[in-house]
């Protein structure tokens, strides 16, 4: 199965490292917002083509490698363009550090802490035109410790959860040739805009 990985930073690099160890998976291209990103560095070391998208908000169709079966996003703040998603046989998936449809947006973990949620979670969702709104492919939850900040929650629980869930869904796609898809229940949707 051929994957185009779109992402950045520690989480993008960690996903790349896991994908490279998985049999039956080829990372054909990596798309990043900056040439000096940790994910780009890892891709170059592995001999993988790197595409730097000029617009930090949109990943264009040309960023997706020809013949891509699945687009995987890992710590990407850029929306993958509709025609880019359509170019991949199975479309695209991303990890969102909340129990979607709760806390859609850039600051999901911060809003989890701000709202005093006793549990948090992670969701693998299908990329869609509307932010964080595509069908759910996988989801799981974790407890939030009292007094825990967003960074601590991310590092302790939500990043490891995301890595596990992403790899579970990628393996399912490789083995079954399809992705699980459960529609999000819009009545429970909340927004998580950036906090100042």
Residues ≥6 apart with Cβ < 8 Å to 120: 97, 98, 99, 109, 112, 141, 142, 143, 144, 153, 157, 158
Q: Could you report the per-residue pLDDT of 46-78, keeping only the tens digit for each?
A: 999 999 999 989 999 999 999 999 999 999 989
Fold of 2-96+122-141+157-182: Rossmann fold (3.40.50)
**Domain residue spans in the chain?**
2-96+122-141+157-182
Structure confidence at residue 175 (pLDDT): 98
Q: Could you report the per-residue pLDDT of 3-30, keeping only the tens digit for each?
A: 999 999 999 999 999 999 999 999 999 9
């Amino acid at each position: 199965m051929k994957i185009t990985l779109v992402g950045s930073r520690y989480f993008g690099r960690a996903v790349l490292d896991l994908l490279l160890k998985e049999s039956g998976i080829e990372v054909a291209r990596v798309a990043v917002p900056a040439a000096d990103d940790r994910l780009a560095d890892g891709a170059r070391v592995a001999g993988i083509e790197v595409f730097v998208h000029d617009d930090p908000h949109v990943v264009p169709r040309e960023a997706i490698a020809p013949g891509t079966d699945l687009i995987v996003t890992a710590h990407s703040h850029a929306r993958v363009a509709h025609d880019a998603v359509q170019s991949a046989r199975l479309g695209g998936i991303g990890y969102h550090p909340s129990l979607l449809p709760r806390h859609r947006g850039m600051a999901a973990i911060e809003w989890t802490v701000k709202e005093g949620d006793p549990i948090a979670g992670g969701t693998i969702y299908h990329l869609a035109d509307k932010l964080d709104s595509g069908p759910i492919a996988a989801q799981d939850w974790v407890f939030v410790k009292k007094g825990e900040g967003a960074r601590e929650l991310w590092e302790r629980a939500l990043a490891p959860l995301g890595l596990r869930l992403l790899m579970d869904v990628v393996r399912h796609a490789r083995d079954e040739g399809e992705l699980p898809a459960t529609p999000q229940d819009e009545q429970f949707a909340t927004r998580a805009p950036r906090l100042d």
